[in-house]
Structure 1
Amino acid sequence: MLPVIQDFTYHRVPVADGVTLNAAVGGSGPAIILLHGFPQTHLMWRHVAADLATDHTVICPDLRGYGDSDKPAETGPDTYSKRTMAADLVALARALGHERFALAGHDRGALVAFRAGLDHPDTITHLACLDVLPTLDMWDVMRGASAAVGFHLYLMAQPPGLPEQMISAAPDAFFGHFLDQWVADPAALPAEIREIYLAASRAAVPSIVADYRASAGIDVEHDSADRARGSRLRMPVTVIQQDWGAALGYDAAALWQAWTDDLRHHTTTAGHFMAEEAPAEIVQRLRELLAL
């Protein structure tokens, strides 16, 4: 399998501050942007994108700092804030001719999607977030022994230097751990795809760490300010998650409901990499959202 989404056209699109994003584009019709998570690239959407492209313009970028997109040096907290990454998407869509678009994100991409929905409510028509909680809520529920499952969040939250050095010493072991532990159906990540993800992550350690560091700092500040203002997502929202709430003792749907009045919350039996493990299920949920 080639490291591309078949029948999609690839673009390199300048977005902001000299940053260029790699984006695969296919289909025609209303636009939807699909955002990948950690430790992956846009290729995680290869099955879902092909289906949606039958009646939508589907845009699958690598986030800044990931895959074949630019990886600017971390010069401050804003370099990899979700606000900055959300602005990248608006610039990307406009460069491709779309003033408004639907947005679906998985994992890290879902956090960017959430921020885009709050910051650009007149631009995002529909919002889907896969297997995350909003950043502020995530830190609130991560406590006690159960927080051990998120050890990487704490590691990469540390000041520059130590986390990059530790991860760079054994990148395949580090990133491979998550690919192996978070998948319920290993066949969904064939060897060639797994190697693409490992190679991409291996080449992006500083920017991946910077992305996570922002989530322990400036992203919390932005979410806290929105919560204090009573900001809410104004578009239809779909959330698809593993049942982490039951496992860790919180009500995931209630946490999401605090951010929106128009929520569809679903749990799945698929593993974390649900767009690859259960693409038909994810397509169904996205199409239900897009029909609203």
Structure 2
Amino acid sequence: MAPVITGFDYRRVPVADGVSLNVAVAGSGSPIVLLHGFPQTHLMWRHVAADLAADHTVICPDLRGYGASDKPAAPVYPKRTMAADVVALARALGHERFALAGHDRGALVAFRAALDHPATITHLACLDVLPTVDMWDVMSGAGAAVGFHLYLMAQPPGLPEKLIAAAPDLFFGHFLDLWAGDPRALPPDVRAAYLDACRRAIPSIVADYRASAGVDAEDDRADRAAGNRLRMPVTVLQQDWGAALGYDAAALWRGWAPDLRHDTVTYGHFMAEEAPADIARALRDLLARTPAMDAP
């Protein structure tokens, strides 16, 4: 049996077009939705979620195409669609406004939700990403080799799915091993659960990544050209990839978020599992900031 977040209630919630999300919910108080990254599931939030549930309603879904959520066949999974799933999920659970935190792929969904639904998202936290369009802009030269999977999964349907399916545990396990600053943060049962979930979701994971090279980047460019910005308090925590790849991450984020707190951390990529007390504290600090309802 796959691990679960102890003390959380599990359910399946319909969100759109026959798609239902697997979600874990606990706590009471102001709501916060926590979105997982790649190659993980909602389980990555298990420590932070338990901490925050002491005084918040905490909602931890598996994203469309991941974990135990539905995986509709499609060549791309636009972040706009995945963001709409999250808003529909929160509303189905009785929350018209909520805070949103995402890690990795989940942070890109959270970013899109905050741009598309500014009256709904009260606070935003993004862990260890750049906005999609900025990510592609800074990936160049030999340094871009670190993101080889971005280019692989951007290819047309067929090739990436077949290549990954030939050795899924090797492929997904590579990232779990490479990106973990502290491998002890991913105990064997959790690591096995992640690999099993990914093994069952290869086409939809590729569809998520493929969207980033196309429609997601286009949506970001359109928002940037229109001058759209994040209207809510924003916290960004990330490793110092900018030093390695030659960009200023904080400056890139300031272009999107007038009310920004940006911190460079020394943890590995899986920071919610490696330093959960610090991440929970950062989220509590974010939630204590006053939303700017009429921000431009």
Do both share a fold (TM > 0.5)? yes
Aligned-pair distance for 1:246?
A: 1.2
1:86 corresponds, among 83, 86, 96, to 83
Paired position in structure 2 for 1:227: 224
Paired position in structure 1 for 2:59: 59
SS of the residue aligned with 1:29?
coil
What percentage of aligned pairs have identical amino acids? 79
**Which 5+ residue runs of structure 2 have no aligned equivalent?**
290-296
Paired position in structure 1 for 2:171: 174
Q: Distance in 1 between matches of 2:211 and 2:48?
A: 29
Paired position in structure 2 for 1:34: 34
After the TM superposition, which segments of 4 or more aligned residues of structure 1 sit over 4 Å from their partners?
none
Deviation sequence 1:78-133 (CA, Å, 0-9, x none): xx100000000110000000000000000000000000000000000000000000
2:204 corresponds, among 203, 207, 214, to 207
Aligned-pair distance for 1:248?
A: 1.3
Paired position in structure 2 for 1:144: 141
What is the aligned-residue RMSD (CA, Å)? Answer: 0.8
Paired position in structure 2 for 1:25: 25
Q: Distance in 2 between matches of 1:220 and 1:133?
A: 12
Q: Distance in 2 between matches of 1:252 and 1:260?
A: 12
Paired position in structure 2 for 1:192: 189
Aligned-pair distance for 1:2?
A: 5.2
Q: Distance in 2 between matches of 1:252 and 1:224?
A: 18
Is the aligned partner of 1:289 residue 2:283? no
TM-score normalized by structure 1? 0.98
What is the aligned length?
Answer: 289
Deviation sequence 1:182-219 (CA, Å, 0-9, x none): 00100000111000000000000000000000000000
Does the CA contact (< 8 Å) of 2:15 and 2:21 recur in 1? yes
Aligned-pair distance for 1:52?
A: 0.2
Q: Distance in 1 between matches of 2:27 and 2:129?
A: 28
Aligned-pair distance for 1:11?
A: 1.1
Paired position in structure 1 for 2:152: 155
Paired position in structure 1 for 2:6: 6
Does the CA contact (< 8 Å) of 2:36 and 2:103 recur in 1? yes
